[in-house]
A and B are shown apart, each in its own frame.
Chain A
């Protein structure tokens, strides 16, 4: 087989296989004709009618708001704590037991505590919950990124008597940026999951709340629509993030090496 034919076949398969899988799903739901498994076409229509029109302000906007706020707070705190920890060995060894513990705990175990401590089931609690668990990927990557900086860079800056805050702003932070972005990408995916978890437990709005309420009322269509919406949301946020990353890190010669693929 010539390479050209092979390449054409490969692209053909890349298009056909997902299409066939969708078709199989559709045929299965048609044949089964069960309200538990609505047809994909019906689900897509439901996503459009419910989430993009009827309940966009009611459920989609609050969820996006929580993801955005939680993610932003997590990135800010993660970088702000991560840079000093990356620079200080004693700081790292003091912080590591805490980081290891909170990173290993299954997040939902803290849902009841977040409500008790913050006296809230609204945005305060949801955003804090999302932010708390999204800190860790950013924090750990920032620490690693700062530690990996070539010592010559910092020594050079020192011998030119560049003050510490300038050193951090102009050398440490930019040099660690590719790794920080790698952590941010993980955090963003995590933020979507944390949004679902937090809204699935004591809430009054959001996509996770739609999941909860449709479960309690045995409505399968909105449930499927919410699942599809959450999947698409995660996919789009990731794509958007890659776009931003490419722009922000365009100047960085090492960024290809630091980002997977």
Chain B
């Protein structure tokens, strides 16, 4: 799975937004707000990957338990899937 092409990340103040650049993506909702972890995962999803690989990357980057990492990844991917932002 990976993020559909056509998003641009934009940082303003302490927030980062993924903004749909392509009109067909804008129909899904023009932007999503990303916290630090979500932005980290979003960038990794620019390439085809799996939830297991994302969990492993999160564990390398942050001091959290495997359980917490897996839960964060699952929740984030579910949110993206529900919004129609994921391809594959």
- Asked whether A and B interact, the reply is no
